[in-house]
């Protein structure tokens, strides 16, 4: 018997998500635990796994479509369910008028893959037909794009089932309109009809490009603006000698495949400092301060899609080799956009490191809802005075940004002193 697959709440307080990709074909059996669809939140792409074996019988949401949590996205059941049974179930749904109910067979799905340009050549414009009762069927994202561009859907050729209009059909129509304007030398030939905001028109020979902003970068921008506006930042800077730390790293990596990085040792030192000064292992809840019992440390990772901060849990009790392996895995999956939502949540502090780029020192914005972020600079050989004697040592500068609401200056200073001592006497990291 066919059943409805609904958009899950893949992250706490998430109200919507984007259908990124359908990973199985219609009417093709899948196994329990197989990833049948990937949805995208503002932070990560999340694979939705099948709870039991079955098959997708009809798609109710297009790839690229934003869907509210709890809304239908597909019909699933046993392979070979009759179309009448699927139609009857879909008819019970409160779908917005005009929304396409997706392909019902492999042949229909293949028809969706026909390039819009070919469809324009093969058929006349317009998706309304007597079979559709004169109505135009279009996906929500297609309607949104057309409305923003002032495009009449009656002039768009639909390539979906029953000539329903997909996103690519609208984009093809807009591209054709731009090409026609450019050929005619129209004044708006260089402007995009689907632009969300008024943009300064490009002049002849202009040496710039307006690059669209991803959902992830938009989310990062909002969080950081909110952080600077809501969290009163204060900063502590420290200079630490890391010669011993580098020696320990060299010995740990000698003859092994561990590949422990300097940043792994810093993250471990942060966890030890948290265990000694728990007053920094907190977060502000508005009417309370949450005190954590273990050290969960976020590590900033810059990807081509934007900045993400996966969290390594239980660092205070984790061997350094395990920490290095766990961090490498999170970084690799961050670049592949395969982090799970729970791996981006929790913790009280972020470690961000620009030392590999030669940056000596910088101050970072706190990653909400964390109470602090540690910015780590490059380790370099510099003049250094010890016991009144001038010598040369490997020096690294750090800057701790702290939210003054849950953390007082004295607490942060005590924590910074502990961290400096741990890094300069690194055997404590391995204890």
* Active site amino acids: 404
Residue 344 belongs to what H/E stretch?
A: none
- For residue 392 the two structure tokens come to 């040369």
Q: How far apart are CA 363 and CA 11, in angstroms?
A: 29
Q: How far apart are CA 285 and CA 230, in angstroms?
A: 12
Q: Is the peptide bond before 111 cis (omega within 30 degrees of 0)?
A: no
CA 306 to chain centre: 7
Give backbone dihedrals phi and psi of 402, rounded to 5 degrees, phi first: -130, 140
Which whole-number Å values give the CA distances from 353 to 17, 231, 360, 398, in the listed order? 31, 22, 10, 9
Q: Which of 68, 8, 15 is nearest to 36 (CA)?
A: 8
Q: How far apart are CA 84 and CA 265, in angstroms?
A: 62
Per DSSP, the chain holds a count of helices (H) and strands (E) of: 11, 17
- For residue 152 the two structure tokens come to 């009449």
């Amino acid at each position: 018997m066919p059943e409805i697959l609904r958009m899950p709440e893949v992250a706490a307080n998430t109200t919507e998500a984007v259908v990124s990709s359908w990973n199985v074909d219609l009417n093709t059996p899948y196994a329990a635990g197989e990833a049948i669809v990937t949805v995208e939140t503002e932070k990560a792409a999340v694979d939705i796994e099948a709870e039991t074996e079955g098959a997708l019988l009809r798609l109710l949401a297009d790839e690229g479509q934003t869907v509210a949590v709890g809304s239908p996205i597909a019909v699933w059941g046993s392979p070979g369910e009759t179309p009448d049974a699927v139609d009857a179930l879909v008819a019970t749904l409160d779908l917005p008028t005009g929304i396409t109910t997706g392909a019902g067979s492999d042949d229909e799905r293949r028809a969706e893959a026909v390039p819009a340009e070919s469809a324009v050549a093969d058929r006349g414009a317009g998706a309304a037909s007597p079979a559709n009762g004169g109505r135009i069927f279009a996906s929500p994202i297609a309607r949104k794009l057309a409305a923003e561009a002032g495009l009449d859907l009656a002039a768009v050729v639909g390539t979906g089932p029953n000539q329903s209009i997909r996103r690519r059909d609208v984009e093809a129509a807009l591209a054709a309109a731009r090409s026609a304007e450019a050929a005619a030398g129209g004044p708006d030939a260089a402007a995009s009809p689907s632009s969300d905001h008024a943009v300064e028109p490009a002049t002849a020979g202009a040496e710039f490009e307006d690059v669209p902003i991803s959902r992830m970068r938009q989310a990062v921008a909002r969080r950081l603006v909110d952080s600077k506006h809501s969290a009163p930042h204060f900063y502590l800077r420290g200079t630490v000698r890391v010669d011993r730390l580098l020696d320990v790293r060299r010995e740990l990596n000698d003859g092994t495949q561990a590949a422990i990085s300097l940043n792994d040792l810093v993250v471990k030192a942060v966890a030890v400092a948290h265990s000694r000064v728990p007053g920094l292992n907190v977060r502000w809840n508005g009417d309370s301060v949450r005190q954590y019992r273990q050290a969960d440390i976020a590590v900033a990772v810059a990807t081509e899609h934007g900045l993400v901060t996966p969290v390594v849990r239980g660092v205070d009790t984790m061997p350094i080799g395990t920490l290095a392996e766990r961090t490498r895995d999170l970084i690799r999956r961050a670049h592949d956009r395969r982090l799970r939502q729970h791996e981006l949540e929790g913790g009280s502090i972020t470690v961000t490191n620009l030392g590999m780029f030669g940056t000596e020192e910088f101050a970072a914005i706190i990653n909400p809802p964390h109470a602090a972020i540690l910015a780590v600079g490059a380790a370099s050989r510099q003049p250094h005075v010890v016991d009144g004697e001038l010598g040369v040592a490997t020096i690294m500068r750090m800057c701790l940004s702290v939210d003054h609401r849950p953390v007082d200056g004295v607490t942060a200073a005590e924590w910074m002193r502990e961290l400096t001592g741990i890094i300069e006497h690194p055997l404590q990291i391995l204890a």
